Amino acid sequence: MQLKRIYVDNFRNLCREEIQLNPGINIVLGKNAQGKTNFLEAVYILAAANSPRTNIEQEMVAWKNDYYFVKGEVESQDDSFSISVGYTQGKKRIRVNESPLERVKDLLGRFIVIFFGPEDLQLIKGSPQLRRQFLDREISLIYPLYYENLQRYRTVLGQRNNLLKEIGEKGTGESQLEPWDEQLADSGGELVSRRIRFLKELREKINSKYTEISGENLEFKVEYEASLALDKNSSSQDWKRAFIDALKRRRKEELIRGVTIIGPHRDDISFQLGDRELKNYGSQGQQRTAVLALKIGELEFMAQVRGEQPVLLLDDVFSELDGTRQKALLDLIGGNIQSIITTTDNNFQEINKPCHYFTVDKGKINRWEGRI
Ligand X SMILES: Nc1ncnc2c1ncn2[C@@H]1O[C@H](COP(=O)(O)OP(=O)(O)OP(=O)(O)O)[C@@H](O)[C@H]1O
Residues at the interface with ligand X (CB under 6 A): 12-13, 30, 32-38, 59-63, 316, 344
94/317 with CB nearer Mg ion: 317
Residue 251's identity, in one-letter code, is R
CA distance 318 to 314: 9
133/344 with CB nearer ligand X: 344
**Residues paired with 312 in a beta bridge:** 114, 339
Give the CA radius of gyration of the chain.
22
Cα torsion through 216, 219, 224, 230, rounded to 10:
-170
The binder of 34, among Mg ion, ligand X, none, by C-beta within 5 to 8 A per type, is: ligand X
The window from 31-39, 238-246, 251-259, 364-372 that contacts Mg ion (CB under 5 A) reads 31-39
Q: Minimum distance from CB of 344 to ligand X (Å)?
A: 5
The binder of 33, among ligand X, Mg ion, none, by C-beta within 5 to 8 A per type, is: ligand X
289 binds Mg ion (CB under 5 A): no
**Residue choice 37, 193, 236, 260 for contact with Mg ion (CB under 5 A):** 37
The binder of 343, among Mg ion, ligand X, none, by C-beta within 5 to 8 A per type, is: none
Q: What is the DSSP string of 185-251?
A: HHHHHHHHHHHHHHHHHHHHHHHHHHHHHH-----EEEEEE-SS---TT--HHHHHHHHHHHHHHTH
The binder of 326, among Mg ion, ligand X, none, by C-beta within 5 to 8 A per type, is: none
35/264 with CB nearer ligand X: 35
The binder of 63, among Mg ion, ligand X, none, by C-beta within 5 to 8 A per type, is: ligand X
How far is C-alpha 128 from the chain's CA centre? 15
The binder of 38, among Mg ion, ligand X, none, by C-beta within 5 to 8 A per type, is: ligand X
Q: Minimum distance from CB of 60 to ligand X (Å)?
A: 6
How far is C-alpha 246 from the chain's CA centre? 30
Q: Minimum distance from CB of 341 to Mg ion (Å)?
A: 12
37/214 with CB nearer Mg ion: 37
63/170 with CB nearer ligand X: 63
The binder of 86, among Mg ion, ligand X, none, by C-beta within 5 to 8 A per type, is: none
How far is C-alpha 86 from the chain's CA centre? 20
Q: Which residues contact residue 352 at a Cβ distance below 8 angstroms, ignoring those fewer than 6 apart?
A: none
69/220 with CB nearer ligand X: 69
CA distance 239 to 105: 24
Is residue 19 within 8 Å of 5, Cβ to Cβ?
yes
Q: Which residue is nearest to Mg ion (CB)?
A: 37
Q: Which residues contact residue 216 at a Cβ distance below 8 angstroms, ignoring those fewer than 6 apart?
A: 210, 286
Residue 226 sits at φ, ψ, to 5 deg, of -85, 145
41/190 with CB nearer ligand X: 41
Tell me how many residues contact Mg ion (CB under 5 A): 2
CA distance 330 to 352: 9
Positions that interact with Mg ion (CB under 5 A) = 36-37
